[in-house]
């Protein structure tokens, strides 16, 4: 399927980070974390999917370097590691709005 083409690594790496953001639940999580750290249980209530699903979404964000976690007692708290991604939402929103016309 894939004829081994050298795709400059830089773009592959960027794509990996972008891909981690490119999901409604994960965008929702990022948005929530912009207001402070949250435990997995908070986030699972927010997005409404199974706890294991939410945990996997968080693992994706963590692997991409977008969030970090800390266990405190029984709970694991996640927080946003890269606030600059929030600036982007204005731009994305402008695209969404423009598309509506």
Task: Give the interface with a second copy as residue ranges (CB under 8 A).
Answer: 3, 5-8, 10-15, 17-19, 21-28, 31, 47-49, 64-66, 81-82, 84-85, 87-96, 98-99
Closest contact distance (angstroms) between CB of 74 and a second copy is 26
Of these partners, a second copy, DNA, none, which one is at the site of residue 45 (CB under 5 to 8 Å by kind)?
none
Nearer to DNA, 15 or 86 (CB): 15
The distance of closest approach from Cβ of residue 93 to a second copy in the complex, given in angstroms and rounded to an integer, is: 7
Report the DSSP pairing between strands 67-72 and 38-39. unpaired
DSSP the chain: --------HHHHHHHHHHHHH-SHHHHHHHHHHTTS-EEHHHHHHHH-S-HHHHHHHHHHHHHTTSEEEEEETTEEEEEES-TTHHHHHHHHHHHHHHHH-
Q: Does position 101 bind DNA by CB under 7 A?
A: no
Which does residue 98 bind out of DNA, a second copy, none, counting CB within 5 to 8 angstroms by kind? a second copy
């Amino acid at each position: 399927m894939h004829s081994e083409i050298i795709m400059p690594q830089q773009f592959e790496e960027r794509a990996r980070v972008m891909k981690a953001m490119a999901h409604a639940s994960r965008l929702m999580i990022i948005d929530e974390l912009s207001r402070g750290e949250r435990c997995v249980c908070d986030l699972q209530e927010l997005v409404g999917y199974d706890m294991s699903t939410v945990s996997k979404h968080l693992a994706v964000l963590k692997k991409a370097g977008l969030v970090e976690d800390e266990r405190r007692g029984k709970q694991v708290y996640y927080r946003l590691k890269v606030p600059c991604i929030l600036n982007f939402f204005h731009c994305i929103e402008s695209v969404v709005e423009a598309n509506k016309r």
